Each structure stands twice: as C-alpha cells, then as structure tokens.
Amino acid sequence: MEGGRINSPSIDAVRRQEDDNVEMSLFRPPIVRLGAGGALNRALFTKKVNLAAAAIQNPKVISHYRQDLQASRKLLKVERISPIVPHPDKELGAQGRKCILLDPAVKTEEPKTWGTVLQEGSQKEELTVIPYELTLEYDYWTARDTMESVLPPELHDEIPSGFNVAGHVAHLNLRDNYLPYKKIVAEIIRDKNPSIRTVINKVDNVGAESEFRTFQYEVLAGEDDLDVSCIENNCTFNFNYAKVYWNSKLESEHTRIINFFKPGEAVCDVMAGIGPFALPAGKRKVFVWANDKNPESYKCLKDNIEKNKVQDFVRPFCEDGLDFIRKAADDALKASLKGEKVVIKKPGPKLKPKKTEKPAEAGFVPGPLKPLVTETYPVPPTISHFVMNLPASAIEFVGSFKGIYQWQENLFAPNTKTLLPLVHVHCFALKADDERPRIDICERLTNYLGFTMKPGNKNYNLNGEGEVTIHNVRDVAPAKSMYCATFRLPAAIAFATRD
C-alpha cells in the first residue's frame, strides 16, 4: 500500500498480459472432445497458425537478425518450435532461403508493430516481412496437451502422467473416473513415448490377490507382450512383468540402500525379487545371499546373475524368508570357516617402457606392459546388512532375528571390530509430516522383535540400542507412504537363545 492506495498493475501492463494470453492461445491444441469410448483421431489435432515472418535475403545475416529480434522481443518464442524455417515459397525454399518466425504481435500489414529491427532491415532491403502459415500437427502437442484436449475439464486436475515403466511396457493404475477414456489415454501415452510399445492397466490390488505382488492386467494399447528388459544401476534385468514384481519408481531407493554396502561385506537380501539390490551389490564385490519365495522371481534372479556375471558374489535361493534370515547367517559363517573366497585377476596399471639409447637386440621380447594384479575377497563370517523389501509384511519377519548369532559373541565388538548387522525394513504407514508414522513403525518393530525400539536420529548414527532411522521412500496413496526403517540389531536379540 502506498499513499493510501493499494498498488496494482498499470493499465498498460494488464493489456500486455491480456495480449500475451491471447497470442499464446494460438499455440494451444484444438478442443477435441471424443466422448467416453471414442476413438483417437489424430487428424483432428491439426491446427493452422497465421504469423508474420522475416524473409531474409542473405543467409549470412540470419544469425545476426535472429539475435537482434530476440533482444527486441519480436522473435517467436514458443517451446518446441524453431524460429528458423524454410521460405514458404517452394521455389525459394528449394534454393535454401530461410525465414525467421515473428512474435504473434507483429502483423504483416501493420509496420507500426514491426519494431526498429524489422523496419530498418526492410528499408535496407535485407528482409521482407511476409505472412506465414505455421502448421501444427498431432506430433507437436505434448501428452498433457493432447489429454486436456480430449478429456472433459473436470478430469484435468489429475491427468494420468506418472506411471511405471518396465522396458517397453507402461503400467497404468487408472482411477475409476478415467476408465471410460482408458483406450484414448493409453494411445496418447504410447504415441508420446517412443520407447513404449505396450500400455497396460492394473485391474486388481497388488499384494492383496497375490503373495508375490503380481497383478491382473488388461492391455489398453499395443501387443500383449510383457517380456521386458530393463537397465538399472549398470545391470540388465530380463523378466516377464506379469510374473514378477518390478517398480521403476524404486530405482533411487535401490541405489540409496546399495550405497550402504562396502566391497567384501556380506548382505542378506531376504525378499530379493529379481535382484535390484543384489545384482548391483555383486558388481561392487559384495557377497549377497539373495532369496525370493516366488519361483518365477528365483528363475529370473538366477538367469540375471549369469547375464550380469556376478555369480562369484551373488548366491540365489528360493525359500521362505522367515527361515532364510537365520539360514543366511549360518551359511555365511560356514563359508568363511571353510575359507571360501573370490580371487580376481585383472590387468594392473600400464607401465612406461624404459628409455634406451640402443635399439633392442634381435630376438628380444619385451615384458608385458600390464602385469596382472590379484584381488582376493574372502567370505566374511558375519552379515553386515539385511534388506527386507516387502513393505506389506516385512516387519512381521523381524522375529526371526532372535538368536541369529547365538553363542557367536566372539565375532563382534568388543571382541572384534565388527558391529552387529544393520537391518533395512521397508513398510507402509500413514502419510504424515509429524512423528506419527515413526512412532507407529517403532511400535510394530517392538511388537515383532520383542525389544523396545524408538525413533533415532536421521544420520544413521545408530550406536544406541533400539534406535531406528526412518526414511520416507515415496507416497503410494493419498494417505499412505512407503518407509524404510533402519536399525542395528540389538545384542539382546542377536545373542538370544533361538526358539
């Protein structure tokens, strides 16, 4: 407020804003309301936009005029449209003559709208301001542009834009109010994403109908081909998307957990799936006991271990996770006591040849410039990390840690430098910014673990027994989030008597 008046935009500023809105509306898609169940007609999205253009006589000055027109705000500035175009006259266009598209406010027949750059260029006969009909077709519009054009206004707030991608498959989870338009939505997604060939929609609740987190689906666009190949963390994963669990939105979480692991450590991946934690860890020279109860996941896991050449470090299993937690700890200790190890021979640093004043004698054979270097990784006697990525029920498995290292206190501090393992448990809880989700998760851990757990600091400095660091992984529903609870296994649980 100034001088008893509320500051407001000047009349000229308001008019400029209104003019900008009108001009930019030229580049919005045509309204194509197809109706529920209608077919996508791409030809209906063609739109003609009448503009002015500066036809440049000498190609050598195009760059100069482009810069000057941009500085004077007379250049067309619209996303995904190049302002440099061939001359609309076919003969001149064939000769390589170019035009510069101008802002919609510039009118061919109104020199007062041209500005100084165009007026002076016209006077020097270096350019001519001509009409130009710009054609925008279906391929120009973004997926959101196209869906807003097709869908009724009441559906514009939550247009399907985020979806899982597995190789060439896009996996939608459409809400009920979008189902009448599902075929159109799928066609648009396939059109606007060149790597997508098949679009499917989930028709049940993941985890409710299948303990292996697979789902029933319907094909909305493309072929019913769910044999896919994905690359994540420098590993290749081949699988059938209908038979195993895969979520492309978890890549950052996979990477976050993998960054905890150090070469030469042992990790137990209790619900490994097809190996998004295990395979990249194996490439980092981490020993992994990787388990999944789904026979199809186990089959893919074995195949992908071979494909990614991590068989020396990653061991696949197909067992119940409740039993596997203790089995992995026992197996790692047995392997260590047997002296199992991985020996890797690789070329060392390139040696510089010695300088000599005399040429080499006849028959002289120089030694190798890259001597072999040997790296040895013995299997450690203890597991450093347990990963439990089954958010619907993983917390219920933590009771299996009781007595996991019964009578093995000598393997850990203070007798050695080895700390008890970190446990990473994924789970679902209330979506909230306060402490309620953390308190709830700790209460559930306490119940199943049989040891009092409490929220700890956020820096993973988990020296105090029972401290839990809880990381918010992602939102999965309006009132539900996925979390990862990380804690160091309490000594009272690890060294307890097994049930």
pTM higher than 0.85:
no
Fold of the domain spanning 49-136? Alpha-Beta Plaits (3.30.70)
| Domain extent listing, the chain | 49-136, 143-225, 232-351+367-494
Q: What is the pLDDT of residue 202?
A: 86
Report the 3 state secondary structure along the chain: CECCECCCCCHHHHHHHHHHHHHHHCCCCCCCCCCCCCCCCHHHHCEEEEEEEEEECCHHHHHHHHHHHHHCCCECCCCCCCCEEECCCHHHHHCCCEEEEECCCCCCCCHHHCCHHHHHHHHCCCEEEEEEEEEECHHHCCHHHHHHHHCCHHHCCCCCCCCEEECCEEEECCCHHHHHHHHHHHHHHHHHCCCCCEEEEECCCCCCCCCCCCCCEEEEECCCCCEEEEEECCEEEEEECCCCCCCHHHHHHHHHHHCCCCCCCEEEECCCCCCCCHHHHHHCCCEEEEECCCHHHHHHHHHHHHHCCCCCCEEEECCCHHHHHHHHHHHHHHHHHCCCEEEEEEECCCCCCCCCCCCCCCCCCCCCCCCEEEEEEECCCCCCEEEECCCCCHHHHHHHHCCCCCCCHHHCCCCCCCCCCEEEEEEEEECCCCCHHHHHHHHHHHHHHCCCCEECCCCCCCCCCCEEEEEEEEEEECCEEEEEEEEECCHHHHCCCCC
**Does the annotation list 171 as a binding residue?**
no
pLDDT per residue of the chain (499 residues) written in tens, 0 to 9: 333 333 444 434 433 444 445 556 889 999 988 777 778 899 999 999 999 999 999 999 999 999 999 999 999 999 999 999 999 999 999 999 999 999 999 999 999 999 999 999 999 999 999 999 999 999 999 999 999 999 999 888 888 777 889 999 999 988 888 899 999 999 999 999 999 999 999 886 544 445 667 778 899 999 999 999 999 999 999 999 999 999 989 999 999 999 999 999 999 999 999 999 999 999 999 999 999 999 999 999 999 999 999 999 999 999 999 999 999 999 999 999 999 999 998 887 766 655 555 555 666 656 555 678 889 999 999 999 999 999 999 999 999 999 999 999 999 999 999 999 999 999 999 999 999 999 999 999 999 999 999 998 777 666 678 999 999 999 988 899 999 999 999 999 999 999 8
Q: 232-351+367-494 adopts what CATH topology? A: Rossmann fold (3.40.50)
pLDDT value, residue 440: 97
Is residue 363 annotated as involved in ligand binding?
no
Q: Is 471 annotated as a binding residue?
A: no
How much is the pLDDT for 478?
A: 87
Q: Annotation-wise, does 320 bind a ligand?
A: yes
Is 143-225 assigned to CATH 1.10.540.10? no
pLDDT value at residue 191: 95
